[in-house]
């Protein structure tokens, strides 16, 4: 659980004015690894009556400054999560379950890729999601 005080700091550090809407949206991202989309936030904030367009806009602006990370779940809508610690995901292509993992062997891979590349010198970031079947869906 992230505290209100920390959320206000995140906004301040990134140059945002602290508004109830921004705080409420950020608060929905209370878990370290739980990619969610605008619809999910919209439903969560039903009482606060936050406009869905505002949610889309806020998510984009949070992503632009690096508060949020876009996670490519290969679903119809864009999923985001807090960009706190470095990790990746396995996604079940049947039920959509998502699990995070922290094993990241990317340095080995980028070394090889750069050695073989005529056009690139440096890799600055990466994203990696794996797709498969969860244990429940395998026995179906």
Footprint of Zn ion (CB under 5 A): 33, 81, 92, 94-95, 97, 100, 104, 106, 134, 137
Residue 48 near residue 36, CB atoms below 8 Å = no
Backbone φ, ψ for residue 72 (5° rounding): -85, 95
Q: Which is nearer to Zn ion, 46 or 102 (CB)?
A: 102
Q: Looking at beta carbons only, is 24 or 36 nearer to Zn ion? A: 36
User: 85: closest CA among 69, 74, 72, 96?
Assistant: 69
For residue 57, the minimal CB distance to Zn ion (Å) is 23
User: Which residues 6+ apart lie within 8 Å of 16 measured at CB?
Assistant: 22, 61, 65
State which residue, 120 or 131, has the beta carbon closest to Zn ion.
131
Closest separation between CB of residue 3 and Zn ion, Å?
Answer: 20
Least Å from the CB of residue 125 to Zn ion: 9
Nearest distance in Å: CB 39, Zn ion: 18
Beta bridge partners of 88: 101
């Amino acid at each position: 659980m992230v505290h209100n005080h920390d959320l206000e700091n995140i906004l301040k550090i990134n140059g945002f004015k602290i508004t109830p809407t921004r705080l409420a949206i950020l608060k929905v991202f209370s878990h370290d690894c739980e990619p969610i989309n605008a619809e999910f936030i919209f439903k969560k904030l039903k009482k606060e009556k936050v406009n869905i367009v505002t949610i889309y806009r806020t998510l984009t602006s949070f992503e632009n400054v690096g508060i949020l990370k876009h996670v490519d779940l290969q679903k119809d809508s864009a999923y985001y999560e807090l960009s706190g610690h470095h990790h990746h995901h396995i996604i079940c292509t049947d039920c959509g379950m998502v699990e995070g993992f922290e094993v990241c062997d990317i340095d080995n891979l980028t070394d090889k890729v750069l050695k073989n590349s005529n056009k690139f010198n440096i890799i600055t970031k990466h994203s990696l999601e794996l797709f498969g079947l969860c244990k429940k869906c395998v026995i179906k």
